[in-house]
Amino acid sequence: MLTRQDRTIADCLAVLDLILPLKLRHIGFKDVGVDKQTLSMLAERIRKSGAISYMEVVSTSPEDALNSARVAVELGVDRLLGGTDVVRTQEILGDSGISYFPFCGFPSGHPTRLGGRPDQIEAHCRRFIAQGCAGTDLLAYRATSADPIELVKAARRGLGKKYLIVAGSVSTADQIAALHQAGADAFTIGSAVFDGSYAESMGSIVSQVAAIEADCAAASRADAG
């Protein structure tokens, strides 16, 4: 994610040009941090790169979140993450072809925190699937009162084979391995890249991303073994 502290970074276009040689297949941004024109240019460049584009909603009011869904349609992103009003968001998305991954649990504030027990997370995920969602966006490591991995396992139970994305505060190889083992299909990461805190011995954004990719591959190998 071209984001830091839950906002799209101001130099997102320049950073995108920097990382494009890595041929990443999944690139996203938030609905706040830069103006709409910049978001439009960013979405178009991601699309031209051949990567799947993501926009995550972090707007704090219900109406702002719905407005962000309208922006997602205008931008033509592939996947919309976040928000909690599934019915109205799906009405806005209509036949745009955008896959929707609402927040499960009880998100609040900015940066967003997550309330909710594992049984509530599982129930939300089951309801999302019944409503035709592609999966869910789980703020596992933003949980205020539950174990993050237990929430991931609960979401996995509720989703069945649907897609589980874990968003927010992923910053270590151990977390990546734990998420993989618990059944997450994907995770978002941004701040740890731009803070240089993921791989502290590395000095560039490109090196940070390469280290993350290597740890993802290692987690997959360990599971296969």
Amino acid residing at 97: G
Residue with tokens 């940070």: 208
pLDDT digits (tens, 9 = 90+) for 185-199: 999 999 999 999 999
How is the chain classified by DSSP, letter by letter? --EETTEE-TTHHHHHHHHGGG--SEEEEESSSS-HHHHHHHHHHHHHHTPEEEEE---SSHHHHHHHHHHHHHHT-SEEE--S-HHHHHHHHTTS--EEEPBPSEEETTTTEEE--HHHHHHHHHHHHHTT-SEEEE-GGGBSSS-HHHHHHHHHHHHTTSEEEE-S---SHHHHHHHHHHT-SEE---HHHHTT-SSTT--SHHHHHHHHHHHHHHHHHHHH-
Give pLDDT tens digits for 103-114: 999 998 888 899
CATH no. for residue 211?
A: 3.20.20.70
204-220 pLDDT per residue, tens: 999 999 999 999 999 99
Residue with tokens 């984001």: 3
Q: Give the pLDDT score at 59.
A: 82
Segments of the chain scoring below 70 in pLDDT: 224-225
**pLDDT value, residue 61:** 87
Contact, 31 vs 43, CB < 8 A? no
The per-residue pLDDT for 225 is 62
- Domain limits for position 67: 3-224
pLDDT of residue 121: 98
What is the number of structural domains in the chain?
Answer: 1
The tokens 């499960």 sit on which residue? 104
Please state, rounded to an integer, the average pLDDT across all residues of the chain: 96
The reported pLDDT for the residue numbered 163 is 98
Bridge partners (DSSP) of residue 30 are 56
